């Protein structure tokens, strides 16, 4: 009798979870080669597309039955929701629209009308500079890339960068110095001194009851984003070194494989699936690299396969 491989021991739902995790992490459909032993999954469900359909839903996998009007209607709804012209990758029918209408711009024109879609050749350098001046004056500061994207009167960033090189070059031509642009880019940074950042970090550590990682700082509503810490201190590790703050696993022996299995099992029990890389780092306070190193592999899916067959994992999952 042929011996079962590790992938054969996985249930259908566990296989489909791998596809869902990939889609959630990368926000695109996985190809068969993107998933470890994808061919086995395709064989289990008959075809790769069928596996994708079962995991993610028919609408995310194929758009063959979608009419032109449905595509155009979806573009209009997305335009209203965003308050600006949607990009191809933001629409669930983006690729289909491009194939169906010849280009994404053609689809936008069909959906929204020529008057509402920027035709870039109507913009000369002078008009763009005047538009940037006007926008900056309305905002009260040097307009950023995000401000330009949100303003329907301005051409796309791709066109601007092709014409000027960068937003800073455009600002310079509009009479706004590089220093002013950078000052507005870092306006959040100016409001935080190193001492205030350290104080906020310690407060978050006390609130969490553990050492905060980058994800915790990102999720914290009253702290600036991690890049501010990086700009001030160089890195979170450097900050901890300079201010004698506790480090993840400092003063402890290397984390055991059993502990990692327990952490994964607890997450699995709570969410019904394995964690994404960023979720594991936030949940266990250990980076995914620690997990991979402990299991001596470079593939997280190999780790999941080993863990799912671990008796300790099964014991935690089955425990009420």
pLDDT above 50 (res 66) = yes
Q: Do 126 and 162 sit in the same domain of this protein?
A: yes
Residue at 149 is within a domain = yes
Residue at 250 is within a domain = no
pLDDT above 60 (res 222) = yes
- Section 282-307 average pLDDT: 79
Residue at 251 is within a domain = no
Report pLDDT for 175. Answer: 86
Q: Do 181 and 130 sit in the same domain of this protein?
A: yes
Per-residue confidence band for 3, with pLDDT thresholds at 50, 70 and 90 = very low
> Nearest 10 degrees: CA dihedral of 159, 163, 164, 165?
70
Report pLDDT for 168. Answer: 83
Residue at 252 is within a domain = no
Q: Hey, what are 201's tokens? A: 């970090």
242, 277, 310 - which closes a domain: 242
pLDDT above 60 (res 122) = no
Residue at 216 is within a domain = yes
Please provide the distance, in angstroms rounded to a whole number, between the alpha carbons at the two ends of the chain: 36
169, 185, 201 - which closes a domain: 185
141 versus 110: the higher-pLDDT residue is: 110
- pLDDT tens digits, residue range 13-65? 888 888 888 888 777 778 787 787 788 888 888 888 888 888 888 766 655 56
- Section 236-251 average pLDDT: 76
- Section 133-138 average pLDDT: 86
Q: Do 195 and 231 sit in the same domain of this protein?
A: yes
CA distances from 156 to 28, 87, 161, 200, 250 (A): 23, 10, 9, 38, 48
Q: Do 78 and 108 sit in the same domain of this protein?
A: yes
61, 80, 105 - which closes a domain: 61
Residue at 247 is within a domain = no
Rounded distance between C-alpha atoms, residue 81 and residue 34, angstroms: 32
Indicate the burial class of 86 (C-beta count within 10 angstroms; 0-12, 13-18, 19 or more): buried
DSSP state of 107: H
Residue at 248 is within a domain = no
pLDDT above 50 (res 119) = no
Report pLDDT for 192. Answer: 73
- Section 97-116 average pLDDT: 81
Per-residue confidence band for 251, with pLDDT thresholds at 50, 70 and 90 = very low
Q: Do 47 and 87 sit in the same domain of this protein?
A: no
Residue at 249 is within a domain = no
The gap from C-alpha 67 to its chain's centroid, in whole angstroms, comes to: 30
Report pLDDT for 155. Answer: 79
Per-residue confidence band for 1, with pLDDT thresholds at 50, 70 and 90 = very low
Rounded distance between C-alpha atoms, residue 261 and residue 172, angstroms: 55
Domain that holds residue 104: 68-116
What domain count does the chain have?
A: 5
75 versus 221: the higher-pLDDT residue is: 75
């Amino acid at each position: 009798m042929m011996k079962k491989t590790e992938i054969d021991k996985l249930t259908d739902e566990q296989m489909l979870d791998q596809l869902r995790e990939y889609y959630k992490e990368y926000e695109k459909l996985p190809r068969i080669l993107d998933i470890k032993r994808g061919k086995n999954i395709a064989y289990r469900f008959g075809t790769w597309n069928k596996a994708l359909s079962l995991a993610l839903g028919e609408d995310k996998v194929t758009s063959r039955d979608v009419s032109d009007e449905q595509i155009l209607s979806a573009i209009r709804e997305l335009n209203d929701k965003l308050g600006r012209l949607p990009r191809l990758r933001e629409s669930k029918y983006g690729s289909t629209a491009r194939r169906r209408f010849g280009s994404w711009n053609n689809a936008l024109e069909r959906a929204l009308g020529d008057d509402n879609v920027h035709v870039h050749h109507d913009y000369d350098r002078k008009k763009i500079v005047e538009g940037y001046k006007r926008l900056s004056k309305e905002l009260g500061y040097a307009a950023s890339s995000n401000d330009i994207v949100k303003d329907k009167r301005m051409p796309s960033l791709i066109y601007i960068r092709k014409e000027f090189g960068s937003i800073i070059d455009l600002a310079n031509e509009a009479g706004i110095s590089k220093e002013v642009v950078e000052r507005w880019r870092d306006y959040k940074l100016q409001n935080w001194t190193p001492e205030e950042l350290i104080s906020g970090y310690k407060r978050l550590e006390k609130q969490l009851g553990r050492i905060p990682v980058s994800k915790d700082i990102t999720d914290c509503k009253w702290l600036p984003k991690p890049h501010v810490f990086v700009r001030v201190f160089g890195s979170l590790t450097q900050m901890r070194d300079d201010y004698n703050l506790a480090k993840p696993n400092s003063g402890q022996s290397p984390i055991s494989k059993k502990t990692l299995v327990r952490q994964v099992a607890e997450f699995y029990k709570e969410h019904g699936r394995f964690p994404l890389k960023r979720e594991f780092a936030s949940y266990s306070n250990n980076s995914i690299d620690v997990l991979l190193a402990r299991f001596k592999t470079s593939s997280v899916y190999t780790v999941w396969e080993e863990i799912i067959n671990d008796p300790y994992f099964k014991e935690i999952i089955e425990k009420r």
